[in-house]
Amino acid sequence: MTAKQEASLKVLLVDDEMLVRSGTAMMLDELGHDVTEAVSGQKALQILADNPHFDVIITDYRMPDMDGMELISAARDFIPHMKAVLMTGYHADDPRFADLHAGSLSKPFGLEELEIALGGIC
């Protein structure tokens, strides 16, 4: 299932860990998506303020200053129906996840899991 998808998504990828972010960006590129990277929730919100034309946000759950759920909620102020995927192993314990209407992706993940997560929300 790892062939490039026919419709490219404009993805905002947010993770404070460079290795995770760059590895995920490479997989998204391999799937044919247009990726913009951000190192923090605050940087992601700055990017959205300047360019609110993203199809999906993929964000880490545990980040300093702003967690992924807070970021997704804030991002939807710019793009109300923005699709979202939360990368984590922790969200199941957070009662806010059920109301977030986002996909999830358990770390570590590979290309196929990423493609399935995107297919499930887009």
Dist CA 54 CA 11 (whole Å): 6
Mean pLDDT along residues 17-44? 97
Type of residue numbered 57: I
Whether 112 has a pLDDT exceeding 70, the answer reads: yes
**Could you say which DSSP state residue 95 is in?**
T
Does the domain at 10-121 match CATH 3.30.2310.20? Answer given as no
**In whole angstroms, what is the distance from residue 45 CA to residue 20 CA?**
20
State pTM to two decimals: 0.90
Domain boundaries, given as residue ranges, for the chain: 10-121
Q: What average pLDDT does the structure give for the chain? A: 89
User: Checking DSSP bridges between strand 83-87 and strand 103-105, what pairing results, if any?
Assistant: parallel
Q: How confident is the model over 76-97, as pLDDT tens digits?
A: 998 998 999 999 876 566 777 7
Inter-residue contact 71 to 59 (CB < 8 Å): yes
